[in-house]
């Protein structure tokens, strides 16, 4: 469950991006966010993750108010956060190590880590890429790998910033299936209205500092 109440925020010296913004997403809920470049979509994720601090407002995750850095550290363990730019997410010398990093950090047994590497690479269509260098993957392959690293962590909540950018048809189909087959709590940012229609129940845009539900009948 994610709840934001009265979030107000603007970057230094710039007009407010959010003005008393409210948001509520129950457990296992799925929402999409679409909107023009620079309207604040990524910033909203950064606020939920605690990377950016709002001037005022309350953040509640799974029923707990999240305040200090310690609270946010715990929250981050529950959230699978996909960066808009895959290069911000990938840092290991091989695909295998990249996917293993999170599960190893959780001190999972080697056997379980191997299982998760196999499963997450297979489901996203990167089987056989284990020894490749992430740095030399194509843009779409990097996006798939970034998704695999998140899936391998088995998070309760997914915050996905443009998960389908650069994906081919089969990649897109895999992501739609993964999201629709899960009962996770999901917020997904995308410029692809059809993808959002296929994967989420409610779609918002950011309008005058607040989230506003889109009327799908009037949206082209
Ligand atoms: N660290 C920062 N310092 C100052 N301004 C910033 C910072 N990060 C983002 N901005 C500005 O805040 C606004 C919102 O940025 P944000 O990245 O949240 O937009 P977005 O909706 O995700 O856009 P896009 O569709 O291009 O990804 C933009 O005008 C951006 O230039
Ligand atoms: Mg963005």
In the chain, where the domains are located: 2-213
Distances (CA, A) of 107 to 96, 101, 103, 113, 121: 16, 10, 7, 9, 20
Q: What's the pLDDT at 215?
A: 82
Q: State whether the beta carbon of 39 lies less than 6 angstroms from ligand 1.
A: yes
* CATH code for the part of the protein at 2-213: 3.40.50.300
Q: Closest ligand to 18 CA? A: 1
Q: State whether the beta carbon of 41 lies less than 6 angstroms from ligand 1.
A: yes
Which of helix, strand or coil describes residue 207? strand
* pLDDT of the chain, 220 residues: tens digit per residue: 999 999 999 999 999 999 999 999 999 999 999 999 999 999 999 999 999 999 999 999 999 999 999 999 999 999 999 999 999 999 999 999 999 999 999 999 999 999 999 999 999 999 999 999 999 999 999 999 999 999 999 999 999 999 999 999 999 999 999 999 999 999 999 999 999 999 998 999 999 999 999 987 666 5
Q: Which residues surround ligand 2, an ion (CB under 5 A)?
A: 41-42, 84
């Amino acid at each position: 469950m994610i709840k934001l109440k009265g979030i107000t925020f603007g970057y230094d010296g710039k007009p407010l991006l959010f003005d008393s913004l409210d948001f509520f997403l129950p457990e296992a809920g799925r929402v999409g966010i679409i909107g023009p470049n620079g309207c604040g979509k990524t910033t909203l994720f950064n606020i939920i993750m605690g990377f950016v601090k709002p001037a005022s407002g309350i953040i509640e995750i799974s029923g707990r108010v999240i305040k200090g850095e310690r609270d946010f550290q715990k929250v981050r363990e529950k959230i699978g956060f996909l960066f808009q730019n895959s290069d911000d997410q990938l840092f290991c010398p091989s695909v295998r190590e990249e996917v293993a990093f999170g599960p190893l950090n959780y001190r999972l047994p080697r056997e379980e880590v191997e299982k998760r590497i196999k499963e997450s690479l297979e489901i996203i269509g990167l089987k056989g890429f284990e020894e490749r260098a992430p740095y030399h993957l194509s843009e779409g392959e990097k996006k798939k790998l970034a998704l695999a690293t998140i899936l391998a962590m088995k998070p309760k909540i997914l915050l996905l910033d443009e998960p389908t950018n650069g994906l081919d048809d089969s990649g897109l189909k895999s992501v739609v299936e993964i999201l629709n087959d899960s009962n996770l709590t999901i917020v997904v940012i995308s410029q692809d209205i059809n993808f959002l229609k296929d994967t989420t129940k409610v779609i918002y845009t950011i309008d005058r500092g607040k989230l506003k539900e889109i009327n799908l009948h009037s949206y082209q």
